[in-house]
């Protein structure tokens, strides 16, 4: 292991960073987030990083303290003369604020990109952005990884007879279509209408699901309301089974209750955000291997194309 690579964790992603460092073949770097009585905090690197490639692992899920912690870690690394500073952000918070969809609102995803660059990040590695075009908000390289690299092997081992994929909303269509193409399987869409955030007014299914084993695919599970309602509607329309795969388990509000009371066989999530508690219906698959490979390839200036589903599709054709 080249000693010029150092991996550090923020408090929001400590468990995941430990796994990434282990897969990479390095000990996790020593850092202390010193907290003061007034609520302020200060990251302190407890080892020299002068001239090193520094990878900082931190998801920016709520509260905003996780984001501020990452920004301060980047600034501290810059002032400690790190050679390159790479922000590894498994879950990129504020990504749903990617445009002005109503008057007088902020574009939060762009602001976060600006803050990361201003702090001194040289590169960003992230996963399943809610809107892929957020990559264009940056003027530094962004490696945008795809969770399908981990979900596809899981789906294959299920050996479902009448496999059909479902998009829980129109916004997930492209993501689901790619995976459906990989399996040469059918796809349906659950078209939802909201009156307000986190509250679904109505939903309809576009496509035939009778006697099908349905796999719902989405990037975020927030309150679980969309997945629970979609699963119930799919079963009403004659589906034989319904399960869901979501990258980022935000699981806010009554999410655990919604999932456990739903007709879903299971919900498969990644460890981009740590679970608040365990649930019999929720299974976690780690992204540590994927991120460790991305970190090594970024350090060695190698391509990461092989980590994406489109390269796997080319291999099947």
Residues annotated catalytic, as ranges: 192
| Helices 148-158 + 288-299 axis angle, to 10 | 140
Question: Which residues, 6 or more positions from 55, have their beta carbon under 8 angstroms from its beta carbon?
Answer: 5, 6, 7, 8, 86, 88, 125, 295
- Describe the chain by its helix, strand, coil percentages, rounded to 5: 35, 25, 40
Work out the widest C-alpha separation in the chain, in whole angstroms.
61
- Is 188 in a helix, a strand, or coil? strand
DSSP β-bridge partners for residue 164: 186, 214
Give the CA radius of gyration of the chain. 20
Asked if residues 226 and 256 have their Cβ atoms less than 8 Å apart, the reply is no
Q: What angle do CA 225, 205, 162 make, to 5 degrees?
A: 100
- Do you find a cis peptide bond into 264, omega within 30 degrees of 0? no
| Nearest alpha carbon to residue 167 among 178, 157, 153, 154 | 178
Could you tell me the end-to-end alpha-carbon distance of the chain, in angstroms, rounded to an integer?
A: 37
């Amino acid at each position: 292991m080249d000693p010029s690579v150092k991996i550090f964790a923020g408090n929001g992603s400590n468990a995941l960073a430990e796994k990434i460092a282990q897969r990479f073949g390095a000990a996790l770097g020593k850092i202390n987030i010193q907290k003061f009585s007034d609520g302020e905090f200060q990251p302190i690197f407890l080892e020299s990083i002068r001239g090193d490639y520094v990878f900082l692992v931190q998801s920016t899920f709520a509260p905003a303290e996780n984001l501020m912690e990452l920004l301060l870690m980047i600034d501290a690394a810059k002032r400690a003369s790190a050679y390159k500073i790479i922000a590894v952000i498994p879950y990129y918070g504020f990504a749903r604020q990617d445009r002005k969809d109503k008057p007088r609102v902020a574009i939060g995803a762009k602001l976060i990109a600006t803050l990361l660059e201003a702090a001194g990040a040289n590169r960003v590695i992230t996963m399943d952005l809610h809107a892929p075009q957020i990559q264009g908000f940056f003027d530094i390289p962004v490696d945008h990884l795809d969770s399908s690299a981990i979900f596809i092997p899981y789906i294959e081992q299920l050996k479902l007879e009448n496999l059909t994929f479902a998009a829980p909303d129109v916004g997930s269509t492209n993501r689901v279509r790619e995976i459906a193409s990989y399996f040469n399987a059918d796809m349906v869409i659950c078209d939802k209408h909201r009156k307000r955030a986190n509250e679904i007014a109505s939903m309809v299914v576009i496509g035939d699901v009778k006697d099908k084993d349905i796999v719902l695919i989405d990037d975020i599970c927030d309150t679980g309301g969309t997945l629970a309602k979609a699963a119930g509607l799919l079963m009403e329309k004659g589906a034989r089974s319904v399960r869901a795969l979501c990258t980022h388990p935000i699981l806010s509000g009554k999410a655990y209750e919604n999932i456990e009371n739903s007709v879903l066989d299971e919900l498969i999530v990644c460890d981009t955000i740590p679970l608040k508690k365990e649930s019999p219906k929720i299974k976690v698959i780690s992204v540590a291997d994927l991120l460790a490979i991305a970190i090594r390839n970024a350090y060695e200036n190698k391509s990461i194309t092989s980590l994406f589903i489109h390269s796997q599709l080319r291999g099947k054709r």
